[in-house]
């Protein structure tokens, strides 16, 4: 890998709020907050809501009392995930090297793309911004720099500079003199405190130390960060997909319920969404758990280990129903239900299971493939399996 690279950190502005504004344009340029689960506190704010003085994590009852003109919305995380996926796909179409860092942030290695797009890197960054705005109506800020650590620093600054901030090699020293060690990505509280103890207060003072000194007095990460801050890409943009160890799908009911049919229907919906995710990562699961949570926040869980892996709704829902019968009590009011699938095996591992009926398997594969294709074409939940 060439030593000097051009890395962008693309970060969505007030992501959850921006998604809500994209879905409901009448909320644009207004104070809007998105609330945490069960509407406990504020977890995202529009620029206007920030200006009013609403702080991150402020309890909802307090915000509602003090800032009546703001619109407060319950979070819709499934929707945010959908938007996230679309944005990441736009980025993956621009560069093969995209590292999804969080739901609303990604590193994109742009090295060499100048020739492909016949424009300089700043223009490529602006193209990314306008593409995301046009296609999904989400504003993003971009930090551009020769390493991930510097790109992260640049993206923090981009928030106050029209959404693009570049730290080129000539600007590095000046930037680092103005950057406290605690503001550097990868420096946690302990390392920050240790550096300060030795009188190293800003990024420039950090890169002025020798590797040997940093290694012996601080840690090896400090050495890596030093070189990152000097504009050498020590950390690679990692485009490998992170495969989850388990898939969980749960949600609260609109109203508390002890209605058996209703709860089973909800469970089947979760099973369907979890199976979609499972098939997306080309996996099957060997373990199924169902969760029921009561009005009084007691959680009941029941688990089954299967003899052969599956990612097929009908198989899982049949087992889930048996598990449900074990823990369901008609005299209890429930507030939520959910499913957890784990112990994955991957389709390319071609495990042969004794007693597995291959004809049934291939029919199942065809059926699930057509479900997924129809959903891709006509949108989520356009198909409902009759359970
Ligand atoms: Mg963000």
The pLDDT tens digits along the chain (387 residues) read 456 899 999 999 999 999 999 999 999 999 999 998 778 889 999 999 999 999 999 999 999 999 999 999 988 888 998 999 999 999 999 999 999 998 999 999 999 999 999 999 999 999 999 999 999 999 999 999 999 999 999 999 998 888 999 999 899 999 999 999 999 998 988 899 999 999 999 999 999 999 999 999 999 999 999 999 999 999 999 988 777 889 999 888 989 999 999 999 999 999 999 999 898 888 899 999 999 999 988 899 999 998 888 999 999 999 999 999 999 999 999 999 999 999 888 765 444 444 455 566 666 677 777 777 777 666 655 555 444
Same domain, 69 and 119: no
Provide the 8-state DSSP code for 348: G
Ligand 1 centroid–CA 129 distance in Å is 14
Q: What is the pLDDT of residue 46?
A: 95
CA of 228 to the centre of ligand 1 (A): 22
**In terms of domains, do 170 and 253 share one?**
no
**Residue that terminates a domain, selected from 76, 108, 124:** 76
Residue 12 Cα to ligand 1 middle (Å): 4
Please tell me whether residues 69 and 120 are part of one structural domain.
no
DSSP string over 76-141: -HHHHHHHHHHHHHHHHHH-S-EEEEETTEEEEE-TTHHHHHTS-HHHHHHHHHHHHHHHH---EE
Within a domain: residue 387? no
Quote the CA–CA distance of 85 and 255 in Å, as a whole number.
30
274 HSE (CA, 13 A, CB side):
34
pLDDT score, position 365? 72
Within-domain flag for 240: no
Examine the fold and report which residue of 59, 76, 93 is the final residue of a domain before the chain moves on: 76
In a domain, 2, yes or no: no
Decide: residue 366, CB within 10 A, 0-12 exposed, 13-18 middle, 19+ buried: exposed
Does residue 235 fall inside a structural domain? no
Distance CA 321, CA 317 (A): 6
Choose the final residue of a domain: 200, 229, 258: 229
Q: How far is the CA of 314 from the centre of ligand 1 (A)?
A: 38
| Ligand 1 geometric centre to CA of 105 (Å) | 6
Q: Please indicate, yes or no, whether residues 111 and 25 belong to a single structural domain of this protein.
A: no
Q: Which stretch of DSSP H or E encloses residue 8?
A: strand 7-12
In this structure, the answer to whether residues 95 and 209 fall within a common structural domain is yes
Range of the domain at 50: 15-76
Q: Exposed, middle or buried, 250 (CB in 10 Å: 0-12/13-18/19+)? A: middle
pLDDT at 358: 58
CA of 285 to the centre of ligand 1 (A): 33
Cα(91) to ligand 1 centroid in Å equals 16
Q: How close is the Cα of 141 to the center of ligand 1, in Å? A: 8
Together in a domain, 253 and 363 = yes
Question: Cα(169) to centroid of ligand 1, in Å?
Answer: 25
pLDDT of res. 381: 58
Same domain, 147 and 267: no
Q: 291 and 369 share a domain?
A: yes
- Do 362 and 348 have their domain in common? yes
Q: Are residues 374 and 250 both part of a single domain? A: yes
**How far, in Å, from the CA of 305 to the mean position of ligand 1?**
39
71 membership: H or E segment, kind and range: strand 71-74
Q: Are residues 258 and 121 in the same domain?
A: no
Yes or no: say if 340 and 270 are a contact pair by the CB < 8 Å rule: no
- CATH number assigned to the domain comprising residue 158: 3.30.70.270
Asked if residue 384 belongs to a domain, the reply is: no
Task: Specify the pLDDT at position 164.
Answer: 97
Tell me, yes or no, whether 39 and 99 share the same domain: no
- What pLDDT is stored for residue 225 in this prediction? 96
At residue 169, the 3 state secondary structure works out as: helix
C-alpha 83 to ligand 1 mean position (Å): 13
- How many domains are there within the chain? 3
What confidence score (pLDDT) does residue 144 get? 97
Q: What is the Å distance from ligand 1's center to 104 Cα?
A: 5
CATH number at residue 67: 3.40.1170.60
First to last CA, the chain: 52
Give the single-character DSSP code of 51: H
Q: Write out the residues surrounding ion ligand 1, Cβ under 5 A.
A: 11-12, 15, 104
CATH of the domain at 303: 3.30.1490.100
Tell how far the Cα of 13 is from the centroid of ligand 1, in angstroms: 5
Question: In the prediction, which pLDDT does 195 show?
Answer: 95
Task: Specify the pTM.
Answer: 0.69
């Amino acid at each position: 890998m060439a030593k000097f690279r051009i890395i962008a950190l693309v970060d969505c502005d007030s992501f959850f709020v921006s998604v809500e504004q994209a879905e409901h344009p009448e909320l644009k340029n207004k104070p809007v907050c998105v609330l945490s689960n069960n509407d406990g506190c504020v977890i995202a704010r529009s620029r206007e809501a920030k200006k009013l003085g609403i702080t991150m994590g402020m309890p909802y009852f307090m915000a509602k009392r003090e800032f009546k003109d703001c619109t407060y919305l319950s979070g819709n995380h499934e929707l945010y995930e959908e938007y996230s996926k679309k944005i990441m796909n736009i980025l993956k179409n621009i560069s093969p090297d995209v590292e999804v860092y969080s739901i609303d942030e990604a590193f994109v290695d742009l090295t060499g793309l100048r020739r492909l797009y016949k424009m300089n890197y700043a223009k490529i960054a602006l193209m990314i911004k306008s593409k995301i705005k046009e296609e999904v109506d989400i504003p993003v800020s971009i930090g551009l720099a020769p390493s991930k650590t510097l790109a992260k620093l640049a993206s923090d600054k981009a928030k106050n500079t029209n959404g693009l901030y570049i730290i080129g090699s000539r600007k590095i020293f000046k930037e680092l003199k103005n950057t406290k060690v605690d503001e550097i990505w990868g420096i946690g509280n302990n390392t920050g405190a240790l550096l300060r103890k030795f009188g190293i207060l800003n990024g420039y003072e950090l890169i002025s130390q020798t590797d040997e000194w940093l290694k012996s007095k601080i840690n090896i990460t400090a050495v890596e960060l030093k070189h990152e801050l000097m504009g050498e890409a020590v950390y690679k943009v990692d485009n490998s997909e992170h495969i989850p160890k388990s898939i969980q799908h749960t949600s609260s009911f609109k109203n508390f319920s002890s209605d058996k049919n209703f709860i089973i229907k909800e469970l089947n919906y979760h099973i369907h969404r979890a199976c979609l995710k499972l098939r997306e990562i080309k996996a099957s699961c060997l373990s199924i758990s169902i969760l029921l949570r009561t009005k009084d926040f007691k959680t009941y869980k029941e688990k089954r280990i299967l003899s052969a892996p599956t990612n097929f709704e009908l198989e899982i829902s049949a087992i889930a129903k048996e598990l449900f019968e074990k823990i369901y009590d008609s005299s209890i009011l429930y507030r939520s239900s959910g499913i957890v699938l784990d112990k994955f095996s991957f389709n390319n591992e071609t495990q042969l299971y004794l007693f597995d009926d291959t004809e049934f398997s291939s029919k199942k594969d065809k059926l699930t493939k057509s479900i997924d294709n129809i959903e891709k074409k006509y949108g989520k939940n356009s198909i409902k399996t009759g359970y």
